Amino acid sequence: MKTYTSVIFWMRALACLSIVLIHAITTTFIQSDNIGKGTLIRVIQLLLMFSTPLFVFISEFLLAKNYHTSIKKSFFKDKLLFLGIPYVCINIGISYFYFKPKTFTEFLGFLESTMFHGAAVTYFIVIILQFYILHFLFSKYLVNRNPILMVLFSVLFATVYWGIRQFIPQPESPILAWFWDREGWMLFLGWLSYFILGFYTGIYYEKLMANIKKYTWPILLGTLLSTAFLIFNYVSGVSTWVESKRFDIPIYVTMIILLFFLFSAYFKYVPKFIIFISNYSFC
């Protein structure tokens, strides 16, 4: 049965506000010709990069929590209507108003890029749809696995995936090069850790919340260390990408998600304005 979970209101609202702030900062730098300047602001922007992963995590968490290993018959139809129609409409708008094509043929080219090649911010919808398919195919298998080992493996896998794209030169093979381009963003591979974490936290939500206070200090320390690691990699020049597709983001986002659950265990009240933003975050 579908139930409401207070932590999700906080997650959706803060992820929504973070995404708006991320793009506002980027636009400001572009408009003022200050790309590469303002290290402190860029670090703040980097720390907000949990937002898109958080959105895709929420989709699987709610699916696992509400339906466990099964889904209702009209699920895929409903999701295609709820996510598919906005995906097409928003990409049409982006292709016309943002890219400003001069001909209809050029418009179709931009539309193809936004729809199928990750050229627009709507790419996360494709990832969410892939999560639904993964849940349908593998949930009954995953439920019998060790949650901790599966989460650890998935975080390692995602870290390696983004690390390969970041530190190994793009191969000449057109097929392999596809993973290094924007299309690589749209595959579930780099986002697998959020799917696995969402699945198990959804399945074992009550058990998680009943015991999470026991791990307050490990979660706080883990969040601090992963944050410090992220900042160090940026400031030292190991990775100067300011995006959610970094090799050090999966562990950082994992700790941020656990921090959200920990926060929810101590603070039950959700302000009305947080609920309001959460309810309309996708819109």
Burial of 231 (0-12, 13-18, 19+ CB in 10 A): middle
Q: Is the pTM of this model over 0.85?
A: yes
Residue 1 has pLDDT above 50, yes or no: no
- By 3-state DSSP, what share of the chain in percent is helix, strand and coil, each rounded to 5? 75, 0, 25
Find the mean pLDDT for residues 112-136: 91
DSSP state of 96: I
Among the residue ranges 204-213, 223-232, 267-276, the one predicted with the least confidence is 267-276
pLDDT mean over 3-9:
82
Query: According to the model, what pLDDT value does residue 34 have?
Result: 55
Residue-wise pLDDT for 165-193, tens only, equals 999 999 888 888 888 988 888 999 999 99
pLDDT tens per residue across span 25-72: 888 887 776 555 678 889 999 999 999 999 999 999 999 999 998 888
User: What is the pLDDT of the chain when averaged over all its residues?
Assistant: 91
Contact 127, 79 (CB under 8 A): no
pLDDT at site 102: 92
Burial annotation 110-137 (CB, 10 A radius, 16+ → b, else e): bbebbbeebbbebbbbbbbbbbbebbee
